[in-house]
Structure 1
Amino acid sequence: MKKILILSSSPRKGGNSDTLCDEFLQGALASGNEVEKIFLRDKIIHPCQGCSVCSQYHKPCPQKDDAAEIIQKMLAADVIVMATPVYFYAMSGQMKIMIDRCCGLYTEMKDKDFYFIATAAEDDPKIMDRIVANFQGFLDCLENPTIKGTIFCGGVWHVGEIKGKEAMKEAYNMGAQV
């Protein structure tokens, strides 16, 4: 059994990338894993202020928001799933802000398995290469991360357009195989 943390950065509950998170979650639960999904939109996460309190002085971030709790859950997880809708060929701002807030404790994120999920209005599979490259900048700073899988579904913009797409089965099956 693995401890899985899903970070959904969709600004819409039930949005396309969020729906893929739910499918991944159902597959992972069916395989007996412990799974938690965090919907970043429901959290208060301020941008990093670059004050260096966390990295230089090894003290907790002085900002009083939900980022510290989420980072602790990332540290405790065996598997981290990061899901984003595509905005201007990159990850959502919500996801980028969350990643930036990891700067104080990223050196403690060791030996994690990662899965990346992305959806986009444009139906070009090369978009996922750009998204993975965005995430790779974060992983390059971690010790021994492994990308275990990626799911991309293009051609979906409006809520619900993901229904019936092959990516739904892919997400469930990927979650079941963790």
Structure 2
Amino acid sequence: MAKKIVILSSSPRRGGNSDLLCDRFLAGACEAGHEAEKLFLKDFDIHYCTGCGRCYNGEHPCPQRDDAAGILEKMVAADVIVMATPVYFYSLSGQMKTLIDRCCARYLEMSGKEFYFILTAAERSIGMMQRTVECFRGFLNCLEQPQERGVIYGVGAWQAGEIVGMPAMGEAYAMGRNA
């Protein structure tokens, strides 16, 4: 059955390692017949959550006028959400964390979604990347019945393009095909 997939690439570099893994996931998903779209977060104007509380109970939309509302709409409409980040100091990129914080306005509508996580780092130890995965899982802990389907660890890739030819490229494609 075809699924609607949104891929959130938070790389600050178009063609960066995590962005390249997003492209491979996208290729696999499209080949499998899924309706998939990659959003390169750097292309969007996403402001920080101000903590105003207006959206708290879901009765009022976020009062900010930026591109976050459109991205959240795509997340709500998706069956599968792929969240990709380069690892910075063993945590998420600022772009990804900002988007997660803005989910306050619609997170109650994100129940039952399937999630995949993509991480890239110069670090070669998958164990050292677990705290970054836990940041993503912290978001999922706030959702109703999320389903974590897979994590792709792009280890040992610092300079843009170093991920090419590494096992993570094949893993991303396979997970996209099997989403």
Which residue number corresponds to residue 159 of structure 2?
Answer: 158
The reply on whether 1:123 has 2:154 as its aligned counterpart is no
Q: Distance in 1 between matches of 2:124 and 2:143?
A: 31
CA-based RMSD: 0.9
Give 3-state SS (helix, strand or coil) of 1:65's partner.
coil
Counterparts of 1:28-177 in structure 2, within 5 Å, are: 28-56=29-57, 58-177=59-178
**Conserved? CA contact 2:6–2:78, under 8 Å:** yes
TM-score (norm 1): 0.98
Percent identity over the alignment is 61
Q: 1:93-131, CA deviations, whole angstroms, 9 ceiling, x for partnerless residues?
A: 000000000112111111000000000011111133212
Give 3-state SS (helix, strand or coil) of 2:117's partner.
strand
**Long gaps (5+) in structure 2:** none
Amino acid at match of 2:139: F
Query: Number of residues paired by the alignment?
Result: 178
Q: Distance in 1 between matches of 2:56 and 2:157?
A: 39
**Conserved? CA contact 1:114–1:145, under 8 Å:** yes
Q: 1:48-98, CA deviations, whole angstroms, 9 ceiling, x for partnerless residues?
A: 000011114721111110001100100000000000000000010000000
TM-score (norm 2): 0.97
Q: 1:136-173, CA deviations, whole angstroms, 9 ceiling, x for partnerless residues?
A: 11101100001000000111111110111011011001
Q: Distance in 1 between matches of 2:58 and 2:14?
A: 38
Report which stretch shifted further, 53-62 or 92-101: 53-62
**Long gaps (5+) in structure 1:** none
Q: Distance in 2 between matches of 1:166 and 1:47?
A: 35
Report which stretch shifted further, 151-160 or 17-26: 151-160
**Conserved? CA contact 2:3–2:79, under 8 Å:** yes
Q: Distance in 1 between matches of 2:51 and 2:126?
A: 35
**Conserved? CA contact 2:4–2:78, under 8 Å:** yes
Q: Distance in 1 between matches of 2:111 and 2:129?
A: 24
**Conserved? CA contact 1:58–1:104, under 8 Å:** no
Q: Distance in 2 between matches of 1:118 and 1:29?
A: 21
